[in-house]
Structure 1
Amino acid sequence: MGEKNILAYFKSPEEAEGAARKLNALRALDVSIDRFTRYSEQNSGLFQSLADRTGMPAMLHGSDLASSSGVLSAADPSNSGMSHGGQGGPTGHDILLTAVVDEGIHHQALRIVEEAGGMM
């Protein structure tokens, strides 16, 4: 038989881990759980509004923030102090469970993911 993949989004790591345990008990071929953010995870929590600083150059010069994700984060409208930001980032379902299962158990695996709160 062939293989099928599953990509499911969860609200919390605990929900995803519960589904992963059940999928592993079902003998899934591969299961992984990752969190994603609007930009790079490495810079999360480091930004204040530019209204509290002297501007983007000061924010980036001589800092770890000079990476491409740092530039993107600093240039975001939500950091300007002049905007509420608009679009927002990933909220709610920011945990990604990726699984590869045998074709024969695919429907059962999908049910497990849905019952655990996963969104596909």
Structure 2
Amino acid sequence: MAEKNIIAYFRSEEQATAVQTKLRALRAIDVSVDEFGRYPGYGLQSVYNPYGGDFGSLGRLTQAADISTPDQGILVAADPAASGMSDGGGGGVTGFNFVLAAVVDESVYEQSLRVIEGAGGML
């Protein structure tokens, strides 16, 4: 039997993991969920004191960005979201920043697409 690939995007991790569970119930060959953002890296891995700590840049502190040069830090800190005043109106990230990648058998491909779209996923 042939395999089909699916890449879908979700607004929340809960939506993506719920679909992941449903696709596994449909005997998906492989399913994974991951988060991505506009800046590379996983952000701060320990607690820093912004008054006395050496955290590199505001972009690293507020955007969870892996900043490697002072110039990158300045550009990332210029993002309106770095101030905390611009969050898209609802708090937190408002985009489709959770990605679900799946490999399914061709016989359940259409049903898998319906499950994804029914849960609010974007193909």
Identify the TM-score tier after normalising by the shorter chain. 0.5 to 0.7
CA distance in 1, matches of 2:33, 2:19: 10
Question: Residue 70 of structure 1: SS of its match in structure 2?
Answer: coil
The letter for the 2-side match of 1:71 is S
Ranges in structure 1 where 5+ consecutive residues have no aligned partner:
47-51, 61-67
Aligned to 1:70: 67
The letter for the 2-side match of 1:79 is A
Are 1:118 and 2:115 matched, yes or no?
no
Question: Residue 92 of structure 1: SS of its match in structure 2?
Answer: coil
1:10-49 mapped onto 2 (5 Å cutoff): 10-43=10-43
Higher relative contact order (CA closer than 8 Å, sequence separation 6+): 1
Aligned to 1:63: none
Aligned to 1:65: none
Q: How many residues align?
A: 98
CA distance in 1, matches of 2:99, 2:111: 19
Q: Could you tell me the percent identity over the aligned residues? A: 41
CA distance in 2, matches of 1:110, 1:25: 14
Bigger helix fraction: 1
Residue 69 (structure 1) shift: 3.5
CA distance in 1, matches of 2:13, 2:5: 20
| Runs of 4+ residues deviating >6 angstroms | none
Q: What do you get for the CA RMSD once the two structures are aligned?
A: 3.1
Q: 1:107 to 1:14 in 2, by over 3 A?
A: same
1:29-108 mapped onto 2 (5 Å cutoff): 29-43=29-43, 59=56, 69-71=66-68, 73-76=72-75, 78-80=76-78, 84=80, 91-108=94-111
